[in-house]
């Protein structure tokens, strides 16, 4: 009767491999368009960098606002019906949307495509819930690190290929991204196992938990999660500086074109993958989840400060390895949070966290692009292109303080 028991770890390992590949392919697809989307917007507005920065901010804010609304719905759906169908629908929707963006012939139609992608980009938050389903609490930080490694690996390959394709044609990366997303759908359809068995699912789909406010009430029910949720929101707020201004900033300050930006993002991906896949498990085991969180935040603060004041490209590059260790923070905070929540509510917890990240993203793109435009504009009283990164450094400093307060022994 006890013979099948040893198979469980094998099943968990197989599930982790599947979800790792699913997230990797999604990140590859998104990575392909990162170097080219701001430049495509810039083309639509006549090549003016400050105006393009404003539109990039509007695009980013809209995407995040839609994610704020849709993420808790997706999380609640995954709690009720399982993780697999939500991930598959996300991959299919993204594949179709990338085709739409590839053929968009005006800024408004490109904007519509970005709106659609906001509704369909669900696989990342559901992947976090997937890990909580199949991994024991004491091993979750390491597993979230592996998921972070998928992000890093995707950013090694995606931006480089996107930069090379974009150097040929600004639309080519969108076509390539659509192929990857649709391939991910096919892959998941045949091999991605369900992680949430029927007996552990929510008995019904509850709209009170599926709306953004209702999902945040879930966090309120777990007092020890509140501070960790604030950390997640602050870290996401700081991180939005990269999609908001990096491509235009790198071109403006260091004269890096599409290919160069792709190579730099690949370097970021390599450093991230080394930390996430090779070091996080060992560091969290050695330091403990709390200390790993604090060390990660301190590295993020140092990295953003270096980025803000780097007068040359090589000095900016020197900050990349330091910033990679900021990656310690998210797996540690996720592991600490998932310990506090019932298994049947992990999807809603991750949906709530994604809502917080999206809420940060509602304000962040306009905030960072506004700061960047003001710092380089014709009427700027002071010229400081690194101002957005300095703002991120201040936000991470606040996150470090909150992390310390929220994880003190009670």
Residue 205 in domain:
no
In angstroms, the first-to-last Cα distance of the chain is 43
| Residue 53: inside a domain | yes
In this predicted structure, what is the pLDDT of residue 267? 85
390 lies in a domain?
yes
Number of domains in the chain: 1
Q: Is 348 within the bounds of a domain?
A: yes
When pLDDT is cut at 50, 70 and 90, the band that residue 113 belongs to is confident
Q: 3-state DSSP: the chain helix, strand, coil percent, rounded to 5?
A: 85, 0, 15
Which CATH number does the domain housing residue 117 bear?
Answer: 1.20.1250.20
| Domain presence at residue 201 | no
Q: How far apart are CA 165 and CA 171, in angstroms?
A: 8
Structural domain containing residue 394: 8-190+210-406
Taking the model in full, what pTM does it have? 0.66
pLDDT tens readout for residues 267-300: 887 887 788 777 877 888 888 888 889 999 999 9
Residue 246 burial (CB < 10 Å; 0-12/13-18/19+)?
Answer: buried
Place of tokens 């995707």: 154
The model's pLDDT over 347-360, given as tens digits with 9 standing for 90+, comes to 667 667 777 777 78
Q: Is the pLDDT of residue 67 over 60?
A: yes
Alpha carbon distance 161, 333 (integer Å): 32
Domain presence at residue 250: yes
Q: Could you tell me if residue 184 is inside a domain?
A: yes
Categorize the per-residue pLDDT at 184 as very low, low, confident or very high, splitting at 50, 70 and 90.
Answer: confident
| Reported confidence tier of residue 1, pLDDT bands at 50, 70, 90 | very low
33 band by pLDDT with thresholds 50, 70 and 90: confident
Cα separation, 326 vs 400, whole angstroms: 11
CB atoms within 10 A of CB 336: 24
Q: How many whole angstroms separate alpha carbon 164 and alpha carbon 262?
A: 8
* 130: in domain: yes
C-alpha 241/C-alpha 304 separation (Å) is: 10
pLDDT at 328 (0 to 100): 87
């Amino acid at each position: 009767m006890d013979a099948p028991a040893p198979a469980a770890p094998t099943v968990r390992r197989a599930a982790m491999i599947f979800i790792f590949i699913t997230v990797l392919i999604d990140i590859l697809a998104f990575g392909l368009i990162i170097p080219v989307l701001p430049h495509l917007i810039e083309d639509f507005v006549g090549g003016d960098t400050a105006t393009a920065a404003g539109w990039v901010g509007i695009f980013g804010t809209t995407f995040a606002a839609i994610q704020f609304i849709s993420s808790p719905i997706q999380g609640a759906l995954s709690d009720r019906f399982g993780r697999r169908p939500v991930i598959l629908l996300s991959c299919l929707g993204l594949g179709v949307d990338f085709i739409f963006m590839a053929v968009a012939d005006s800024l408004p139609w490109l904007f519509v495509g970005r709106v659609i992608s906001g509704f369909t980009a669900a696989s990342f938050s559901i992947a976090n819930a997937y890990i909580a389903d199949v991994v024991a609490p004491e091993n979750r930080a390491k597993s979230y690190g592996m998921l972070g490694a998928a992000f890093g690996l995707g950013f090694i390959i995606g931006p480089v290929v996107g930069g090379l394709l974009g150097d040929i044609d600004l639309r080519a990366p969108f076509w390539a991204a659509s192929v990857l997303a649709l391939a991910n759908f096919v892959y998941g359809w045949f091999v991605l196992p369900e992680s949430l068995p029927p007996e552990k699912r929510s008995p019904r789909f509850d709209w009170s938990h599926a709306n953004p406010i209702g999902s945040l009430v879930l966090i309120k029910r777990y007092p020890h999660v509140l501070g960790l949720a604030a950390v997640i929101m602050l870290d996401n707020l700081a991180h939005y500086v990269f999609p908001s201004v990096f491509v235009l900033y790198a071109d403006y300050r260091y004269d890096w074109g599409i290919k160069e930006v792709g190579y730099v993002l690949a370097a970021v991906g390599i450093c991230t993958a080394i930390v996430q896949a090779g070091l996080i498990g060992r560091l969290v085991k050695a330091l403990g989840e709390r200390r790993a969180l604090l060390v990660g935040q301190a590295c993020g603060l140092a990295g953003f400060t270096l980025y803000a004041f780097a007068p040359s490209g090589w000095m900016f590059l020197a900050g990349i390895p330091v910033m990679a260790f900021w990656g310690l923070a998210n797996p540690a905070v996720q592991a600490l949070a998932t310990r506090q929540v019932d298994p049947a509510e992990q999807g809603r917890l991750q949906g709530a966290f994604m809502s917080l990240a999206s809420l940060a993203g509602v304000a962040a793109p306009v905030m960072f692009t506004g700061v960047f435009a003001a710092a380089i504009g014709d009427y700027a009283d002071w010229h400081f292109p690194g101002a957005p990164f300095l703002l991120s450094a201040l936000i991470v400093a606040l996150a470090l303080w909150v992390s310390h307060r929220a994880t003190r022994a009670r």
